[in-house]
Amino acid sequence: MSDPFVVVGGDAAGLSAASKCKREDPDREVIVFEKGEWVSYAHCGMPYYVKGEVESLSDMLSLTPAEIEDRGIDLRRNHEVVAVDPDTNTVTVEREGERFQQPYGDLLVATGAHAVSDPIAGADLAGVFTIHSMDAAAALRAFLTPPAAFDPDAFDGAGEFVDWELVEAYAARDPPESAAIVGGGYVGVEMAEAFSAHDLDVHLFQRPERLLPPFGAAPAERVAETLCEHGVTLHLDTEVDELVAGADDTVAGVVVDDERVPVDTAVVGIGIEPNTALVDGAGIELGVESAIAIDDYGRTDRERVYAAGDCAEMRHAVTGEPDWVPLGLTANRAGRAIGQTVAGTPTPVGDIAGTAVVKAFEMECGRTGILDHERAREAGFDPVSETITAGSRSGYYPGGAETTVTLTADRRTGRLLGGSIAGEDRAAIRIDTLATALEGDMTVGELERLDLAYAPPFSPVWDPILTAAKVLNGELA
């Protein structure tokens, strides 16, 4: 009887699961189907590759296909799983137009997500990119590089996967001198830094009033200030009507409020959606934000079918309800847990706290938990927030920076619900303290009494987090 562990998708969740299963149960057959060329690559590194801070595309490959196969995993690239039949425990796989059936003992759907660009008319023009594939990142970097400086050897180690036709077409063009970024989330903010590094005139368009909406008001304001200081032109509260082409097919302008801002390239980063077409057809239940519904062990509602990564929901540590926050650690952790479960040791995929960090030039921001009051009320809390700004080091010690902390708590119980942090000196990593406090169900009073580290080069006596807790606790008392 054939009962392979079949994995659909060769990135963080899929390969974590495959690797863990094979390590725990070396005799189990493990097959990974990946519809494209690329496997095991670092989405989050792409803006830094485009910027030039990460030298080579291959640097962002965690594992090469050969390394994956060395683990005993049967990796099949360019194999698209087009159907799942949970009744017969088989998937239908398409390769170069041919289809075949593959039985499975256990199945993991780790199909990821895709960038949304449809709402922006003109997003399909040449010169417009979403930063959600290695080929797009490679093409954009080639576009930003003067033709004479383009070096195909920089693809060393990744050359066999890359879409050369696309890359060479952009490499041959004159580099853009100005860029539009549509969307002011992570990708937008990181791409503003990346484009600035190439000396482009950068315009960032954001439909909401604020950048980085999940981070709340204070970090958004500090990031906006930082972007402005670096010459980025912010168009907040601004809806892009369309991207328009010039003489050729290439984007040449952004139309907003009937005015046209001329640009030579554009990035659209307005969000991603879970890839669920595969399971839609199989009658597998979807949950929040149309991500695949799973239980504590990553199981879907069909037996022996698991889901993990950007295509799946996860339980939020604060609300206890399912949520969809597609991030790298979540995918890796859930994949690893499912690999272990499939190998015989049931392992929970864990909760998420929605912890995220982002860098905008020298400004660092972090966020975790529930910050939005409306969202908190929906979850049954009575939210109250305070924002403070404090130094990151003892006042007399050089190198400190103003650090802004927002904490949100439930007025009735004092429980910490979420927090954000922004500053230039070791600010982002401090969010881990709040994420840990959240998952420990701490109250603001308990947070205030934490024995956090103090030494002049690293923190004032009262860390900015403790100062924020003191202020919010005073408000709760």
94 bridge partner residues: 80, 99
Interface characters, 274-313, with a copy of itself (x: CB under 8 A): ----------------------------------------
Q: Quick check: 354 binds a copy of itself (CB under 8 A)?
A: yes
DSSP 225-273: HHHHHTTPEEETT----EEEE-SSSBEEEEEETTEEEE-SEEEE-S-EE
Phi/psi-derived region of residue 380, left when phi > 0, alpha when psi is between -120 and 50, beta in every other case: left
What are the strands of the beta sheet with 98-103, ordered from one edge? 80-85, 90-95, 98-103
Shortest distance (Å) from residue 1 CB to a copy of itself: 29
x/- track of binding to a copy of itself for residues 48-87 (CB under 8 A): x----xx----xx---------------------------
Q: Is 311 an active-site residue?
A: no
* 328 touching a copy of itself, by CB under 8 A: yes
CB 91, min distance to a copy of itself, A? 27
Long-range contacts of 443-450 (CB under 8 A, 24+ apart): 443/409, 443/413, 443/414, 443/415, 443/416, 444/407, 444/409, 444/414, 444/415, 444/416, 444/469, 444/472, 444/473, 444/476, 445/414, 445/469, 445/473, 445/476, 447/407, 447/416, 447/473, 448/473
Closer Cβ to a copy of itself, 243 or 431, answer by number: 431
Q: Write down the least CB distance from residue 367 to a copy of itself, Å.
A: 9
- Closest approach, Cβ 368 to a copy of itself, in A, equals 7
Q: How far is the CB of 109 from a copy of itself (least distance, A)?
A: 20
Interface region with a copy of itself, contact rule CB under 8 A, candidates 43-51, 76-84, 93-101, 270-278: 43-51
The two tokens of residue 470 are: 């003191």
Give the count of residues interacting with a copy of itself (CB under 8 A).
66
Q: 341: buried, middle or exposed (CB in 10 Å: 19+, 13-18, 0-12)?
A: buried
| Amino acid present at 203 | H
Shortest Å distance, C-beta 143 to a copy of itself: 21
Structural tokens at position 230: 């670096």
Candidate list 242, 462, 471, 475; residue touching a copy of itself; CB under 8 A:
462
Q: Is 320 in the site for a copy of itself (CB under 8 A)?
A: no
Catalytic residues: 44
Query: Under the rule (CB under 8 A), what is the footprint of a copy of itself?
Result: 12, 42, 44-45, 48, 53-54, 59-60, 317, 327-330, 332-333, 348, 350-359, 364, 366, 368, 394-398, 426, 428-433, 435-437, 439-442, 446, 449-459, 461-463, 465-466
